[in-house]
Amino acid sequence: MADPGTDRRVDREQDHGRGGYGLVGDIIVGIVGAILGGFLFGLLTGRSDGVNNLDIGSIVVAIVGACLLIAILRAVTGNRARV
């Protein structure tokens, strides 16, 4: 029979996670990643105005940019924890 205290400890560690950069850090990473995604999208497509509208395409570009920035930060800092 498993120890109930061990099960709760494992659940608590999974809920909180050990990755991430804190609330403010995650917000900053998301914003900077969205800017990075818009910049890269402009470079790849040749559009000089970048991404200016709030539509599904802009949201996808922002998410891809944020994911790219997180991957870069994890590669540089060595943080391999799941988020």
Residue 28: what pLDDT?
92
Q: pLDDT for 2-35, tens place per residue?
A: 555 555 555 555 545 556 778 898 889 989 998 8
DSSP string, 10-56: HHHHHHH-S-S-HHHHHHHHHHHHHHHHHHHHHHHH--SS---S-SH
| Mean predicted confidence (pLDDT) in 30-43 | 89
This prediction's pTM: 0.64
Residue 72 has pLDDT above 80, yes or no: yes
CA–CA dist 60, 55 (Å, integer) = 9
> What's the mean pLDDT when you consider all of the chain?
77
Q: Are 66 and 34 in contact (CB under 8 A)?
A: yes
Residue 32: what pLDDT?
92
Tokens 């970048």 identify what position? 50
